[in-house]
Structure 1
């Protein structure tokens, strides 16, 4: 081979790396796009893959038939890449317009849900079939073009192409999720892949300028010989079966590893890249051996057996994956660097489990093609083998998701795949047996196959205590031995388990992550999850005057559905759950959730929520969204701009939408991305904290939320449910309200994240990182325990009267603080300290009482008195009503000290006005304190009262909607008052409120913008 031809060959192989890179990006992006349109239910996942693989099979089969007549296959390849690139660049625009036409025109005309589904699938097919058909043509065209230019090297060329295309695909899988989508979103990623195709087309056209030799003629003898035809059928059948088994492995491995490393988008792409990398290395290894092998069909048989044995061996390795993940979590710090290393570690685990079998899978397609080429079937063999392999892959996808995994479970599904692979290997070897020693080797191979299969089935145990452990969250590779897994099932989309604890509680988990927990024993206090699930139903029922039709997204334990049906006004509750095994598992919570299963008004639907609502044509009074955590792959689409624009169309004019948002394993910025997606789509909204970490947002498409009447749910059946939680008074529910529309918009602006979108999926990409780093949205969880009564001044809530009990204070941090505040008040009245006070609390109170009795006029003692006053005031004022606070501050020692110390009198004026929630007095007292500090001689020394006075004055301005005054206060005094470190920064929040504008949500300032920047002020 001349140097020029050698360079040309390597250049052609190199550009096929780029082609594979772009092709995998398309698969990832198109699957996401179509998932948005068709839904993410198991059947939708399978059919999206079937469309993708089916289109490629059609393309390969068509080019196998007509390509032999083309004079320059590489030029044809360049043209195909050019068209793919143009379609990739325009895909987002075509998709959005086509889907809009489907939802707005075609689906409403369907007349039935079945016909609507048919229309949706036809639209989906039209969206991607042209591109997938073209993609299916690329491998046969490039292969045929190279074989014509370099005859006699078929095995090396096919193996090299398989390697380069697959290694490009593996890199593309990683680049799409870790680089491109975070940087430019789905539209930009599709455009980037299209530009790569254009580059590949240009290079291929330039390299195709040299003429190709004529294709090798098809042997008429081979075409007519019955033996050759039998071999043709055997090879095509074998390559189809091999493709099916490979996809069974891939789907089962991804499901298995999801239990160990978490079902995140990052983990999915790492696993996919590991699988494809194994295929690539197999293609690299076989490229020279295929040409040297005297009987490539026999070698293919051995590769099939080796593939099956490697798949069975992966079960043994998988048994250790939970310990490896646990070690990683224990060894790595919860940081950005730790997360990067965790991804590398989980990628290494995926490689160890998947690569051996994938390696052998990468050898088979080149070998099968070489067999047919040597038999004289011509270059058409390339496309035929590729088409049959792809069609087999479709069968593997459908069989794995809909038959093998649900019926047999993950382990046996993989064993079936291995048996099929090894069985076809034995058939191929039997076809090649021509001597007694060869027959003996075949018998030995068969014995090894069945021995390995028997060992895998009987000796490799999938322990539910390990599978349900959720090791990827806390690092423990097994559940506590005192727990019991009372239900475990591998469903179509997830593995579901129910775990019972010795104290009478139980939790239901999806892929090892607990989604809901409740108690089955009436003697046990309910867990925090119960408050969330019950209040998610009770709050909108208290607000809506006539809640007849309710839709619920996510079944969980079934408690929200059960609670909703406790209201006699409700006529029907449709609960949409994507995984049937979840509904089966939750039945173990009976009779605690009996209405969800037994009430005739309850309808449980197994489907994707958005797809179900779109096809129903029904509007609801209430829709409640309680999906799984947003770091789970695909769930982020239920927290997106597009989803929130869709929901109002499913609600009646006075309908209510309820959104659960987790505040754990996530940060304030990501929660703000949800708020900035939700708020523009609704006319009004407000938020409650059910416990310390679960936010419940209620929104309406109408201009204003209806007034809430908590008494509606405190009687009858619903009253019994709430009484079990210790909630019997309206004030207890009202106390959990933490935000109105104005404050939610301000929080969205304060943390400044762009709105989470289907096409720019910030939440899905970043939530896995915040989960690993054990973050919490402290700005949101801190709202009910702000050190100033900001929520009361803004009219969001009121402090609990002293005659109202505090239900289950361990489950709600504000209740804990209220208990603490009441004990502070008792001590100040001269009573003994309660158990809720810590030694530090008692010491501060004692020091305050001593100092106020001594009444220092100035100096360090006066500074200490001010500091203790601020600490005690912040502990009590936000959680006690004005009257008992006024009584405390009027005690004789405090009054005497005020008369002797003007500075202490100014400090007490700040405290008294804040206790009374009197905006005018707060403003005057705060400015008086800050002005005397500003005019004093001790500016070098800050006082604890400074920030209390400034925040009080700014809060008073916010209470009267004096935004100019609020910002003037910050500009005038802010420089001399350093902000404290506690979260959220109240001053920053108040400045954001200044930019959140009037009640009109469309008037909100841009996310991340300081509201005071809208005012032209100077200090």
Structure 2
């Protein structure tokens, strides 16, 4: 794990680099196993050989820092081959990694055949001994993986962990040497004894075609195993997250299964004879178990939410959930995979004299297959056919191998061979056709990060509805991640997800633009710029707004670049800019390799809890960036404050400030910070920034859209200079490549709301920038203060914005622009009356910006808005937008006739304005003019109105007109935009009840969903009772329904059926069932019979019901009528088995 991490710091975290390192590692294992397996059979003391191997691994571990430093230098020299031939570079990269780690990996690969040669002394126990060794070795790897992934790297660091591992190897070597010396002192030698085995001919054991076929089958099994591991990891990442702990959990679980599988085989089956058919059956079982994992994945997100709710949200409990879900998918297949090695070793080995050769050859063949699986799975299968079909393809490989092995075994009867072939065919068909394609909405729901979104949804059906509500525009299972682009239902809002986490969106526009604009404004003459991370492409668009000669965008996942095309409207069609070059590379790795320098470098990724992203927040990365900057160069880093402990934030600040000569901290909003590092002193002048914006219409428009009116307003984002930042950071830890503390600490705060705390701590250190030409103290006009007020509003700091606008008004009380801004801020603060008074002042004296006053008035309470907008209409009778806003305010205020009149008046001037027809339709609906309302709403739909509120209003109109099928469809569309809207869901259920018996099951589901969200909703209770009563009466002939006097037991049966069909089942009281029964409104015939009997006998209804139900339940113990009741209820389609038991228990 540590060597792989060190090498990826050099070669990068791309799939290609990781696969290269992994392949070189496994190639060394295969080489060592194959070569040393042959050599050890000729040596008498295999135990000593094992000790020497361990010592060799330990000695190499001590040389790792020096060797890897040399590798880094060589890599930079070789990177130029990419321009010549990517294939040539790939080969050279593999050879470089192989040369670096071939010695220790070969020694590691040799340990298993060498130990097998020592431990296997009886041929009949070969399977057991080899199984035990493989299990011990693999379970030891589990311990090492868990310790390294969860503790050692984060506390000791990479190099100290390597030294610790080397010390363990050396200690083992010393112990083995001492043990060998002790055995020799006693005259004992580890020689073969026990029963005889078939003799081996000279020159090694003779091998037949079946033996070669066995090795090929084992290689294919290894290939399938790596495809599984790759695909399972990619799928699980969508559910349990992308942190370094998630990957450690998945790897540990995989290894646990392998180790336990080998151990169980050794204990239960290790001494028994097994043939090719046995291995074939094992392959078929692997195929079946892996096949069973396919439908599991789509259920995992909902299961995760259930477990999160049950376990709690502490980090330890979160890790427990990750382990449980990983085990649920992987444990059975990996148990079976773990048994394959001792099985093959037992079949392939012919005699004790060739144990080392046989075990080594088998291990090498499986490892070579695993190398093929790693490459094919990562580079071909997943990107081309997807994760699900990659699993299915691996299932087919196991199934085919299994059948061929069974067919090759001469001891198997033809009938069984046919059965095996049939099993293979069934498995293969099921793999590709037996399961539907995973729902991409569910799989990309990001439950790890967005669990809070589903917390208020009480049922899995509602959660799934939330997950699938938005339109999927783009979906690609790429080389390194799953990329999807979505459009929110009923709107034009777009967002892009990477492995289920939103990485770019329209809502992030301010930060995505400012992380590009701010560094460029500080170095407007930049000619060469590097942006690390593509996202939506808005940052690249901001850079391209300046006269750069070359803009390079380094993106690790090619599918992100393609997904960004859907943001063309926001990113200025950056893909078509000839100055832009997209580079499929790890940004850090690219900086390490390139020979050129940049005027500006921008690092976009802002989530250090994601595995690999933490490498972009270390001191070494910042040093690399600084070394690549030109004189006067600027480095920009996006940093978040949410889900970040204050200690982690301070760690980033201190690490950053230690590298760059000058540093400043800026805030786009409370959640997003910008760190600016420069190679020279930062001189902030408003005139310089304004000059940088001159002649840049795209940049000017973008900044105005964000709320920054001029260069001065940008200084509202400024928080502090370097000295203050260092003071705030204090003695925080430094984040290093060697000790990547941030990558291990950040995941512990995932899902926690830390923004408020971090900003509270930050504001105590905020210093206003020393800008000579934008000093409000020296400005007699108040324009600087007003600009800062605009800037603070753009950063969502309304408190500061109000302070500065009031300061501007004290200097210039007649400034209408300042008053308009104050009115806007008051409205946003919810102070409607004060805002209205300020607006009336503006309207009275500032006609040129009445359109802006209309926009502010829209945010006021209805009566205040009406008052202001009527004044605006008087000042500007032809301002149509004011009349639209007035109509909307009248409608909000319940003045529907007046609103209708306004809408009809403005309709003549704006016949293509969908808002006008939508508002007109709503006003007519409120007045009960349903036909006219529908006509207006249909016209709004024709003009493009799709919002949830529009669909809900249309559904209500259709309900009133008796067009229930269309109403159901309209409400279905409306609920996509707001799953939690109880009224819309209730109305949909009511519409469904009018469509006949076929839709009553769905209607019941709607009512129960309403009650799950709003248990006190009396209308839903009543509709559910009516629905149940109608069904009860319609099926009374099946239920019995006799008067209680004739058959009290039967009457009890009827009562319980009434409860089942007419109650909300969740209200059942387990402790007091009679109270539950009596609290429910029974169907009218039962209630009437009960009343008559109570009158005639003088007994209470409670006693009668209690006696009848008690007798019924007593009889049910002997007649099993509970089952009949359950069967009838389920046939009725109204209840589940659990609901019935709650009703009658």
Please give the range of the TM-score, normalised by the shorter of the 2 chains: 0.7 to 0.9
1:680 deviation in Å?
2.1
- Cα deviation per residue 1:95-133 (whole Å; 9 max; x = unaligned)? 23x246436878799997978877665543332211111
Would the aligned equivalents of 1:544 and 1:706 in 2 still touch at CA under 8 Å? no
1:645 deviation in Å?
1.1
SS in 2 for 1:735: helix
**Aligned residue for 1:365?**
341
Map 1:294-443 onto structure 2 (within 5 A): 294-334=273-313, 338-374=314-350, 378-379=354-355, 380-434=357-411, 438-443=413-418
**Aligned residue for 1:205?**
177
SS in 2 for 1:592: helix
- Cα deviation per residue 1:670-721 (whole Å; 9 max; x = unaligned)? 1222222222221111121122211111212235567573222364222122
In the alignment, the residues of structure 1 paired with residue 307 and residue 598 of structure 2 have an alpha-carbon distance, to the nearest angstrom, of 46
**Aligned residue for 2:755?**
776
1:232 deviation in Å?
1.4
In the alignment, the residues of structure 1 paired with residue 303 and residue 76 of structure 2 have an alpha-carbon distance, to the nearest angstrom, of 50
1:837 deviation in Å?
4.8
Q: Please give the TM-score of this superposition, normalised by the length of structure 1.
A: 0.73
For residues 450 and 535 of structure 1, do their structure 2 counterparts lie closer, same or farther at Cα, with a shift above 3 Å needed? same
Unaligned runs of 5+ in 1: 1-27, 519-526, 843-1019
**Aligned residue for 2:693?**
713
Would the aligned equivalents of 1:658 and 1:696 in 2 still touch at CA under 8 Å? yes
Would the aligned equivalents of 2:645 and 2:749 in 1 still touch at CA under 8 Å? yes
In the alignment, the residues of structure 2 paired with residue 369 and residue 225 of structure 1 have an alpha-carbon distance, to the nearest angstrom, of 14
2:584 matches 1:612: no
**Aligned residue for 1:242?**
221
**Aligned residue for 1:849?**
none
Would the aligned equivalents of 1:543 and 1:707 in 2 still touch at CA under 8 Å? no
For residues 796 and 465 of structure 1, do their structure 2 counterparts lie closer, same or farther at Cα, with a shift above 3 Å needed? farther
**Aligned residue for 2:14?**
41
- Cα deviation per residue 1:771-821 (whole Å; 9 max; x = unaligned)? 1444337334764x55x9743689999678454385597762324541377
In the alignment, the residues of structure 2 paired with residue 30 and residue 90 of structure 1 have an alpha-carbon distance, to the nearest angstrom, of 12
For residues 746 and 222 of structure 1, do their structure 2 counterparts lie closer, same or farther at Cα, with a shift above 3 Å needed? same
**Aligned residue for 2:503?**
515
In the alignment, the residues of structure 1 paired with residue 204 and residue 391 of structure 2 have an alpha-carbon distance, to the nearest angstrom, of 39
For residues 225 and 328 of structure 1, do their structure 2 counterparts lie closer, same or farther at Cα, with a shift above 3 Å needed? closer
Map 1:77-88 onto structure 2 (within 5 A): 77-88=50-61
In the alignment, the residues of structure 2 paired with residue 774 and residue 306 of structure 1 have an alpha-carbon distance, to the nearest angstrom, of 46
> Paired residue for 2:25, among 48, 52, 76?
52
2:171 matches 1:171: no
- Cα deviation per residue 1:848-880 (whole Å; 9 max; x = unaligned)? xxxxxxxxxxxxxxxxxxxxxxxxxxxxxxxxx
2:167 matches 1:186: no
Larger Rg: 2
- Cα deviation per residue 1:572-605 (whole Å; 9 max; x = unaligned)? 1000000011111111112332442001101111
**Aligned residue for 2:480?**
493
1:140 deviation in Å?
0.8
Map 1:597-996 onto structure 2 (within 5 A): 597-627=575-605, 629-704=607-682, 709-711=688-690, 712-713=692-693, 715-749=696-730, 752-776=731-755, 778-780=757-759, 783=762, 790-791=767-768, 801-804=784-787, 812-815=795-798, 817-819=800-802, 822=805, 834-837=826-829
For residues 332 and 421 of structure 1, do their structure 2 counterparts lie closer, same or farther at Cα, with a shift above 3 Å needed? same
1:617 deviation in Å?
0.9
Would the aligned equivalents of 2:670 and 2:759 in 1 still touch at CA under 8 Å? no
**Aligned residue for 1:254?**
233
Moved more, 717-726 or 471-480: 471-480
Would the aligned equivalents of 1:820 and 1:837 in 2 still touch at CA under 8 Å? no
Would the aligned equivalents of 1:166 and 1:280 in 2 still touch at CA under 8 Å? yes
> Paired residue for 1:531, among 510, 528, 532?
510
In the alignment, the residues of structure 1 paired with residue 234 and residue 773 of structure 2 have an alpha-carbon distance, to the nearest angstrom, of 45
1:231 deviation in Å?
1.4
Q: Please give the TM-score of this superposition, normalised by the length of structure 2.
A: 0.65
- Choose between structure 1 and 2 for higher RCO, CA contacts under 8 A separated by at least 6 residues: 1
- Cα deviation per residue 1:743-776 (whole Å; 9 max; x = unaligned)? 2211221xx3311111101111011111144433
In the alignment, the residues of structure 2 paired with residue 163 and residue 282 of structure 1 have an alpha-carbon distance, to the nearest angstrom, of 8
Moved more, 690-699 or 476-485: 476-485
For residues 237 and 375 of structure 1, do their structure 2 counterparts lie closer, same or farther at Cα, with a shift above 3 Å needed? farther
**Aligned residue for 2:523?**
544
In the alignment, the residues of structure 2 paired with residue 85 and residue 563 of structure 1 have an alpha-carbon distance, to the nearest angstrom, of 52
Would the aligned equivalents of 2:608 and 2:746 in 1 still touch at CA under 8 Å? yes
Would the aligned equivalents of 2:15 and 2:479 in 1 still touch at CA under 8 Å? yes
Would the aligned equivalents of 1:579 and 1:606 in 2 still touch at CA under 8 Å? yes
**Aligned residue for 2:111?**
138
Would the aligned equivalents of 1:173 and 1:269 in 2 still touch at CA under 8 Å? yes
In the alignment, the residues of structure 1 paired with residue 703 and residue 607 of structure 2 have an alpha-carbon distance, to the nearest angstrom, of 25
2:568 matches 1:590: yes
Would the aligned equivalents of 1:517 and 1:557 in 2 still touch at CA under 8 Å? yes
> Paired residue for 2:426, among 424, 441, 451?
451
1:616 deviation in Å?
2.5
Unaligned runs of 5+ in 2: 455-462, 777-782, 835-1145
In the alignment, the residues of structure 2 paired with residue 495 and residue 768 of structure 1 have an alpha-carbon distance, to the nearest angstrom, of 20
Would the aligned equivalents of 1:113 and 1:615 in 2 still touch at CA under 8 Å? no
> Paired residue for 1:233, among 196, 206, 212?
212
- Cα deviation per residue 1:124-159 (whole Å; 9 max; x = unaligned)? 3332211111111111111111014x5531011011
> Paired residue for 2:494, among 502, 506, 528?
506
SS in 2 for 1:791: coil
1:182 deviation in Å?
1.9
> Paired residue for 2:3, among 22, 30, 33?
30
Would the aligned equivalents of 1:665 and 1:774 in 2 still touch at CA under 8 Å? yes
**Aligned residue for 2:266?**
287
- Cα deviation per residue 1:509-545 (whole Å; 9 max; x = unaligned)? 1100111102xxxxxxxx2x11111111111221114
SS in 1 for 2:156: helix
In the alignment, the residues of structure 1 paired with residue 773 and residue 667 of structure 2 have an alpha-carbon distance, to the nearest angstrom, of 13
Would the aligned equivalents of 2:709 and 2:791 in 1 still touch at CA under 8 Å? no
Moved more, 679-688 or 391-400: 679-688
In the alignment, the residues of structure 2 paired with residue 503 and residue 827 of structure 1 have an alpha-carbon distance, to the nearest angstrom, of 42
- Cα deviation per residue 1:979-1010 (whole Å; 9 max; x = unaligned)? xxxxxxxxxxxxxxxxxxxxxxxxxxxxxxxx
1:258 deviation in Å?
0.4
Corresponding residue pairs, total: 793
For residues 298 and 131 of structure 1, do their structure 2 counterparts lie closer, same or farther at Cα, with a shift above 3 Å needed? same
Would the aligned equivalents of 2:393 and 2:431 in 1 still touch at CA under 8 Å? no
In the alignment, the residues of structure 1 paired with residue 689 and residue 143 of structure 2 have an alpha-carbon distance, to the nearest angstrom, of 56
1:470 deviation in Å?
0.7
Moved more, 150-159 or 231-240: 150-159
Would the aligned equivalents of 2:51 and 2:177 in 1 still touch at CA under 8 Å? yes
For residues 705 and 821 of structure 1, do their structure 2 counterparts lie closer, same or farther at Cα, with a shift above 3 Å needed? closer
In the alignment, the residues of structure 2 paired with residue 296 and residue 710 of structure 1 have an alpha-carbon distance, to the nearest angstrom, of 79
1:571 deviation in Å?
0.7
**Aligned residue for 1:565?**
544
For residues 290 and 742 of structure 1, do their structure 2 counterparts lie closer, same or farther at Cα, with a shift above 3 Å needed? same
For residues 606 and 108 of structure 1, do their structure 2 counterparts lie closer, same or farther at Cα, with a shift above 3 Å needed? closer
